[in-house]
Amino acid sequence: MQNARPKQFVAVLDFGAQYGQLIARRVRDMHVYSEIVPCDISAADLAAMSPSAIILSGGPASVYAQDAPDMDGAIFDLDIPILGFCYGEQIMAVKLGGEVAHTDKGEYGPSMLTRLGSSVLLDGTPNGGQTVWMSHRDSVSKAPEGFMVTARTENCPVAAMECPRKRFFATQFHPEVRHTEHGHRMLKNFLFDVCHLEPSWTMEGIIEEKVSAIRTEVGDHKVILALSGGVDSAVTAALVHRAIGDQLTCVFINHGMLRKGEPELVESVFREQFKMPLVHVHAEQRYAKLLDGVSDPEKKRRIIGTQFWKEFFAVAQKLDGVSYLAQGTIYPDIIESGARKTGGKAAKIKSHHNLIPFPVGVHFDLIEPLDHFFKDEVRELGVALGLPDKMVYRQPFPGPGLAIRIIGSVTPEKLTILKDADAIVREELDAYNQALFEKTGERNSEHTCWQYFAVLPDIRSVGVMGDERTYQRPIIVRAVESSDAMTADWAKLPYEVLARLSARIVDEVEGVNRVVYDVTSKPPATIEWE
């Protein structure tokens, strides 16, 4: 399915930035559509996309390095407003005749910015000092001809520069991160005062556009969808059903490693609330046999993924007239699994469940209506489509389910223990997050837990319960604060919340005598345990 861009959109040229996705998200937060494109796109190809504005991201390289990311200098001749951050400022300077120097002292983290006279980009920000976020050693030493230097820091003489006549603007710091206290205003100045864009990218308009595009592409053909109960597949199902109704059939493969109550929720929402055609495949026993004795996490992933598609296509081949397969691929999936649509070179971190192994002689055309949306935007779509909050704000959950939160082999006993413990973790921290939401009015306030779950390690420990010595299993609780899962910090939960979690798990879950709390950030750890 082709992505239908709105008439106005911002192209973010990605130079390998740590914050590349964040730039696109910040623009979308202002209700302007943005899209990440490879930095080496030609001027002709970029012009064919008709962007309303261009943002040049940061990047880890030096502009003078032999293998440094480059860009087509003709892009500066397209008469399109351009804003560069960090490496984006440096490459703008070099391409337009300025100079970049390697300094003896870099700047990393918060720096004090001083404005130097009037500035279109910095308009409305303090004339005195303001905090910005730096991450560089190289910096522009001489601005190109026609540019004004509009700000500096102690170690960076050209911290911001601009050429309003050509509508070129650049900063050495990162306006897109929250640590730049007036970064939001700078982006607003560029998008609305320089580019004269309209904040028209809203959920209602998006649904209308997507529904129309799906109807046009599908026509009177039938569509099948692998429904996991997760946010992405659920929103895809609701959106496609809004477009074509009973032409869509959802197939729910129950591998037995879902969280407590989730199969029942899927049945309730899709069969009863939305009245969708739903095939519920009970494959629990087949999966249990395949996973018996398997402890390696990557082997678990492969077994579960391979069997999933076998189960799915066994159903698909019994349905007549199916021409399309809909799935809930979202924008980070594309970027992280090799950037197949952005031109990037992302490393493979783990097996990806969105790569489809069609059986010999079987093929469906793909519909991926969410493939240019970030997770928070998918949740907004879900709310607008009428999905219940319990599903829309469901905790992120890996495709292989609890199998990879059980360290070691998967057994019925371990599954029961982890399901019961995880249900308590979710119940208590759902309540904790809800209390914060009612207090602050924000779903993602400073102290909100972004993701939380229980892990069952492959060990036992000694304990005392009553007058008896026990030798039972511990439960690890993982709770993190994050906005996008790219980085995360462990959640600073109040002691009373941790105490209640521990007491409930030990009291209510048979076979557990100890609870521990993971206090490791990402990096160096990952969010998940495997």
For 15-147, where are the E strands, in sequence order?
Answer: 34-38, 53-56, 82-85, 99-115, 129-142
User: Where do runs of H (alpha helix) occur along 74-148?
Assistant: 87-95
CA distances from 345 to 20, 213, 282 (A): 13, 30, 38
Q: Which DSSP string do the residues of 453-501 spell out, in sequence order?
A: EEEB-S--EEEEETTEEEEEEEEEEEEEE-SSSSSBEE----HHHHHHH
SS3 label, residue 139: strand
**Is position 250 annotated as part of the catalytic site?**
no
Out of 107, 162, 176, 428, the active site residue is 176
Tokens of 251: 């197939």
CA distances from 46 to 43, 195, 340 (A): 5, 17, 17
Out of 89, 107, 174, 481, the active site residue is 174
Query: What's the CA gap between 520 and 88, in Å, rounded?
Result: 33
Q: Closest Cα partner for 529 from 451, 473, 462, 463?
A: 451
Whether 397 contacts 265, CB under 8 Å: no
Query: What's the CA gap between 265 and 260, in Å, rounded?
Result: 10
Residue type, 144: P
For 283-351, where are the E strands, in sequence order?
Answer: 322-326
**Is position 174 annotated as part of the catalytic site?**
yes
Q: How many other CB atoms are found less than 10 A from the CB of residue 141? A: 15
Whether 379 contacts 238, CB under 8 Å: no
Residue type, 35: E
Peptide bond into 524 cis (omega under 30): yes
Q: Closest Cα partner for 10 from 41, 58, 49, 59?
A: 49
For the chain, how many residues are written? 530
Those residues whose C-beta lies under 8 Å from the C-beta of residue 180, and which sit 6 or more positions away, are 131, 132, 133, 173, 174, 186
From first CA to last CA, the distance across the chain in angstroms is 34
Dihedral (CA of 367, 369, 372, 376) sign? negative
Out of 86, 156, 195, 449, the active site residue is 86
Tokens of 159: 């911290």
Per the listing, tokens 């560089």 go with: 136
Residues serving a catalytic function are 86, 174, 176
